[in-house]
Amino acid sequence: MDEFRSQPVAPQKLFVDGTWQAASGEALEVLSPIDGRPLTTIERALPADVDRAVAAARRAFDDGRWSRCLPAERKTVLLRLADLIEAKALELAVLGVRDNGTEISMALKAEAGSAAATFRYYAEALDKLYGEIAPTAPDVLGLVHREPVGVVAAIVPWNFPLMIGSWKLAPALAAGNSVVLKPAETASLTLLRIAELAAEAGLPDGVLNVVTGQGSVAGEALALSMDVDVMVFTGSGNTGRRLLEYSARSNLKRCYLELGGKSPNIVFADVPDIVQAAKVSAMAIFRNAGQVCVAGSRLLVEDSIHDEFVAALTEAAKGLKVGDPLDLSASIGAINSLSQLESNLGFVSGALEDGAELALGGSRILQETGGWYMEPTVISGVEPTHRLAQEEVFGPVLAVTSFHSDDEAVAIANNSDYGLAAGVWTANLSRAHRMIRDVRAGVVHVNTYGGSDLTVPLGGVKQSGNGHDKSLHAFDKYLDLKTAWINL
């Protein structure tokens, strides 16, 4: 690991039409959250650069170099890419940690490991997607074909760029589409490396293009493009709204949006094991410094065990070491950027001004490193209407609220614009099923939090977005249905 930690990172270029290209704008400096120092530079793509990438993707799609490949040929390339990612897992994980601050123990599994598994999953699935024969009149043959949509634009966030990027890239490419990928400004390096590995695996030129730069410039240009057929995005609700607006102003491209959450983690008095539930609930909010879209950031605890459970969770959080994310002993790594750290601290001070109580943490730490680190923070007595209970922090800040009854727990849990994830802790099977039914969320964990694999979809309701990543359902975003009606 030390070899990769100290390895210089060359200035990065755009990857367009199979070649590394300079952008029209001035390069952007990349600062490592580990120590706040410059790591490298990335290109700042302007609209003309984005148009060039989209044009390359369109040519590649239209001439069929990938879209009309035999499924077995696409499978071979994607399996080879999965093998390359797996072989480079440590290098990719360390590069990503230097770029975005995720603790290395998590990055190895959730980034490089997850990316390899995702490409392998969709490679194996792509030749199992059959068409349909409609049950119609005997003198008519009704066929339903599945066809790639064309050019896909994917904009991915900085918290898990490889994992989330692969959730979008793998099914889109497996279905036969061409892709223009725009990573986050503060986490582009591993996805640029994936483009290089994809070319090495045999992906034809122009099928995968990566443009870096500012979301307000490069992302907007992608969303306004008249030649992008589908846009997929993971990020903030405000950006998602703008993408929908840009779609309406351009070619009405379909937009699939995963817009985060304010997920309730509900603990009933009959929780099977308070200590174990507290440990899992602590990691549900504090892993990756809280920079997780499904984080259990609202802890709802039945009032009869409130004090006992909060004490157990606080004790578990005290045992988590915050530090250099490339140190294997660190449980929690760095905050991705200084602006994100300042936003986190603003939520804490606002909650305390609103009358909530600080049970743990609340401060920036390790300033002497030059990096961006924050204590695990637990704030109790948070009213359901407080800003801390309503807005996504995306940091290591847990809002604790008590409840008295099942109905009150459901009401508090659903008192949110979001609906991405939830957790329920109970020994009562009937209660568990009622909560699964009544809590409005795309995924409900029972007596655990997190850990779902590729076999099940991830998506939200309400303002957490639409469409699904993971599972075979992800193909729905990247395939069109075409009917053939044949008079026999």
pLDDT in tens, 169-215: 999 999 999 999 999 999 999 999 999 999 999 999 999 999 999 99
Closest CA to 232 of 166, 168, 143, 291: 168
pLDDT band at 1 (very low <50, low <70, confident <90, very high): low
Whole-number pLDDT of residue 2: 73
Residue 6 has pLDDT above 90, yes or no: no
Residue 155 has pLDDT above 70, yes or no: yes
Q: Is the CATH code 3.40.605.10 the one for domain 2-259+465-487?
A: yes
Which CATH class for the 264-453 domain? alpha beta
Which percentage of the chain shows pLDDT scores above 70? Answer: 100
Q: Which two tokens stand for residue 305?
A: 């065990």
Residue range 60-69: average pLDDT?
A: 98
Whole-number pLDDT of residue 5: 82
Residue type, 140: V
Whole-number pLDDT of residue 447: 98
Which percentage of the chain shows pLDDT scores above 90? Answer: 98
Tell me which of 43, 111, 185, 258 is the catalytic residue.
258
Residue range 30-43: average pLDDT?
A: 98
Residue 4 has pLDDT above 90, yes or no: no
Residue 388 has pLDDT above 70, yes or no: yes
- Contact indicator for 258, 233 with CB cutoff of 8 Å: yes
Averaged confidence pLDDT in the chain? 97
Residue 379 has pLDDT above 90, yes or no: yes
- Contact indicator for 96, 107 with CB cutoff of 8 Å: yes
- 258 given a catalytic annotation: yes
Q: Which two tokens stand for residue 61?
A: 């799609």
Report pLDDT digits (tens) over 97-141.
999 999 999 999 999 999 999 999 999 999 999 999 999 999 999
- Contact indicator for 102, 159 with CB cutoff of 8 Å: yes
Residue 310 has pLDDT above 70, yes or no: yes
Residue 156 has pLDDT above 70, yes or no: yes
Instruction: Give rounded-to-5 percent helix, strand, coil for the chain.
Output: 45, 20, 35
How many angstroms separate the CA atoms of 118 and 400, rounded? 35
- Contact indicator for 326, 34 with CB cutoff of 8 Å: yes
Higher-pLDDT residue of 375, 7: 375
Residue range 457-481: average pLDDT?
A: 98
Whole-number pLDDT of residue 486: 98
Residue 61 DSSP one-character state: H
Q: Which two tokens stand for residue 32?
A: 């490592």
Residue spans per domain, the chain: 2-259+465-487, 264-453
Residue 3 has pLDDT above 90, yes or no: no
Residue range 449-477: average pLDDT?
A: 97
Residue range 419-437: average pLDDT?
A: 98
Q: Kindly report the backbone phi and psi dihedral angles of residue 365, in degrees, each rounded to the nearest multiple of 5, phi listed first.
A: -135, 170
Indicate the helix (H) or strand (E) that contains 487.
strand 479-487
The vertex-403 CA angle with 398 and 408, nearest 5°, equals 115
Whole-number pLDDT of residue 407: 98
Residue 184 DSSP one-character state: B
